[in-house]
Amino acid sequence: MSSGAPSSHRLTLDDIADQRAYERERPEFRTRMLEVRRRRRVALGTILTVSFESRDTIRYQIQEMARAEKLSTDEDIQIELDTYNPLIPRPGQLCATLFLELTSDAQMQEWLPKLVGIERHIVLVLADGREVRSVPEAQHATQLTREHVTSAVHYITFEVDASAREGLGTAPVTLVVDHPAYREEAVLSELTVAELLADVTG
């Protein structure tokens, strides 16, 4: 599997505004990105959410992280770029962040051991029954995968070939969790499907 987006899709230092410039654009950019992220976020039951990433969502994440942590040097920003650029989908690919929404120690103690391997159990089911299964994003997999306990955050990808791309445009498209310890599904909205089609067609 490719390690990430091609160079034309990757963010560079020139794409990340410095703090003063970002403060000027932030109100409008943040309002727009909150709506984009809402369309790209899918709840699966009560404790699992999948958020599909794009070049814009990753730029927003890096800008907000730089703002919160007061990152100002090229070296600091480049570390964030190297970390998050692999989550920008290339044509024919979807990238997503998987969140386990666990809010208490008791929930973490219950679910993190149960859900080992969850990053391989998210499936896009197309209208004709074809399935596109998630795989862990290669750069982050070794950091987040453990034998006996999982992480609350995973980065996953879906490789979408040409025929599946065509199927993605036909309703319904369903996102399914088929982990033995957690089974849920959600039919994707037209707005979400439109976002995903834009990703896979580049």
Residue 184: which domain range?
A: 13-201
pLDDT for 145: 61
Average pLDDT, 10 consecutive residues per value, the chain (202 residues): 53 96 97 97 97 97 96 94 94 96 95 95 95 88 72 95 89 96 97 95 85
pLDDT for 169: 86
Spell out the long-range contacts of 64-71 with Cβ–Cβ below 8 A and sequence spacing 24 or more: 66/16, 66/19, 66/22, 67/19, 67/22, 67/23, 67/26, 70/19
Count of domains forming the chain: 1
Nearest to 132, CA basis, from 142, 141, 117, 122: 122
